Structure 1
Amino acid sequence: MDDSDEIKAARRHLGRRLAQLRKAAGHTQHSFARLVQYGRSSVANTETGHQYPDRGFWTRCDAILQTGGVLAEEYDRITERARQQRRRSAIQSIGAGPWPVPPTHTCPDARSNDDGSVLWECEDRIDARRLTLKSCNDNDARLAYLEDEVGRAIADNERLTPAALVARMRPLRVYVDQLMGGRQHPPQRVRLYNVAAYMSGLLGALALDLGAFRVAYAYAAEAFDLADAAHQPDVQAWARATQSLIAFYAGDYHDALAYAQDGLCRAGTGPHRIRLTINGKARALARLGDRYGVDQAVDDAFTALSDCPSSSQVSASLALGAYCQARTAANAATAYLALGCGKDVTAHLTTAIDAFDVAGLRGPQALSRLDLATAYLRGDPDPEQAGALALEALTLTADQRYESVNQRTRQFLATARPFAQQPQLRQVAELLHDRTQIGARTPPALPSPS
Structure 2
Amino acid sequence: MPKETLFRYRLRARHLTVYEAFVAQFQRAARELAEREEEPRLASLTVSSRQFDRWLSGELRGLPHPDACRVLEYMLASSAEELFAVPQQASAGGVPSSVAAAARSGAQVEPADDESVIAIVTRTRQLTATNADDRTLEFLRSSLDGVVRRYDREGPKSTRGEVRSLRRLVHTLLDGHQPPRVRQELFRLAARAAGLLGYMAVNVGDYGLAEAYATEARDLSQVIGDVKTELWARGTLSFGYYYAGRYAEADACAAAAVEMAPENAQAIRLLTNGRARALGKMGDREGVERVIGHALELSAAHEVATGLTPCISFEPYGYARTLANAVTAYLSASQVDQVLGTAERIDGIVEDSDPWSRCLVRLDVATALLRQPTPDVDRSMQLGREALALCRDVPITSVWQRSRDLYAEALEWRNREAVRDYGDALRMWSSQPAALPIARAGAL
| CA distance in structure 1 between the aligned counterparts of 2:106 and 2:248, rounded to whole angstroms | 64
Query: Which runs of 5 or more structure 2 residues have no equivalent in the other structure?
Result: 31-67, 85-95, 440-444
* 1:222 has 2:216 as partner: yes
Q: Secondary structure at the match of 2:121?
A: helix
1:135-163 CA distances to partner (integer Å, 9 max, x unpaired)?
11111221122112212211222111320
Partner SS, residue 153 of structure 2 = coil
Q: What is the one-letter code of the residue matched to 2:360?
A: L
In structure 1, the partner of 2:370 is 377
Structure 1 75/390 Cα, relative in aligned 2: closer, same or farther at 3 Å? farther
Identity percentage of aligned residues: 29
After TM superposition, give the deviation of residue 211 of structure 1 in Å: 2.1
1:41 to 45, 51, 69: 69
**In the alignment, which residue of structure 1 is the partner of 2:406?**
412
On the 8 A contact 1:353/1:369 being kept in 2, the answer is no
2:342 to 348, 353, 356: 348
Distance 1:259 1:104, change over 3 A: closer
In the TM superposition, what whole-angstrom CA distance separates every residue of 1:70-116 from its partner, at most 9, and x where no partner exists? 999956743489x9xxxxxxxxxxxxxxxxxxx974xxxxxxxxxxx
Give the deviation of 1:278 after TM superposition.
Answer: 0.7
Partner Cα separation in structure 2 for residue 181 and residue 79 of structure 1: 24
Residue identity opposite 2:182 in structure 1? Q
Alignment of 1:78 onto 2:104: yes
SS in 1 for 2:264: coil
| Cα pair 2:21 2:173 within 8 Å, conserved | no
1:274-312 CA distance string (max 9 Å, x none): 000011001111111111111111110111111112236
Contact preservation (8 Å) 1:14, 1:71: no
Distance 1:21 1:340, change over 3 A: same
Gap change, CA 1:328 and 1:104, over 3 Å in 2: closer
For the pair 1:32 / 2:22, whether they are aligned, the reply is yes
Task: Give secondary structure in 1 for the equivalent of 2:370.
Answer: coil
Residues 322 and 80 of structure 1, relative CA distance in 2, 3 Å threshold:
closer
Is 2:6 aligned against 1:15?
yes
SS across alignment from 1:231: coil
The answer to whether the Cα contact below 8 Å between 2:9 and 2:99 also exists between their aligned partners in 1 is: no
| Mapped contact 2:395–2:435 kept (Cα < 8 A) | no
Q: In the superposition, relative to structure 1, how do residues 262 and 424 fare at CA in structure 2: closer, same or farther (>3 Å)?
A: same
* Residue of structure 1 in register with 2:360 after alignment: 367
1:191 equivalent to 2:185? Answer yes
Flag the 1:332–1:184 CA change in 2: closer, same or farther, 3 A: same
Distance 1:253 1:52, change over 3 A: same
Preserved CA contact (<8 Å) 2:381 2:418: yes
Relative to structure 1, is the Cα distance of residues 257 and 129 closer, same or farther in structure 2, using a 3 angstrom cutoff? same
Cα 1:147–1:27 change in 2 (3 A) is closer
**Distance between the aligned counterparts of 2:327 and 2:280, measured in 1?**
11
RMSD across aligned C-alpha pairs, in angstroms?
A: 3.4
CA-to-aligned-CA distance 1:312-366 (integer Å, 9 cap, x gap): 622121332221121111111111111111001011111223212112x000100
Q: Of the candidates 81, 86, 90, which is equivalent to residue 50 of structure 1? A: 81
CA distance in structure 1 between the partners assigned to 2:153 and 2:384 by the alignment = 20
Q: Is the 8 A contact 1:15 1:49 kept in 2?
A: no
Structure 2 CA distance for partners of 1:130 and 1:19, relative to 1, 3 Å: closer
Aligned partner of 1:271 among 259, 265, 280 = 265
Q: 1:356 to 1:74 in 2, by over 3 A?
A: farther
Q: CA deviation at 1:440?
A: 9.4
Instruction: State yes or no: 1:259 paired with 2:253.
Output: yes
Distance in 2 between the 1:254 and 1:201 partners? Answer: 22
Mapped to 1, the partners of 2:438 and 2:97 lie a distance apart of 44
What residue is the counterpart of 1:208 in the other structure? 202
Structural mapping, 1:437-448, within 5 Å: 437-438=431-432, 443=437
Tell me the distance in 2 between the aligned counterparts of 1:19 and 1:137: 12
Q: Write the distance in 1 (CA, Å) between the matches of 2:97 and 2:261.
A: 44
Secondary structure (helix, strand or coil) at the match of 2:184 reads helix
Structure with greater Cα Rg = 1
Query: Is the Cα–Cα contact under 8 Å of residues 156 and 204 in structure 2 kept in the other structure?
Result: yes
Partners of 1:314 and 1:324 within 8 A in 2: yes
Find the aligned partners of 1:275 and 1:434 in 2 and give their Cα distance. 33
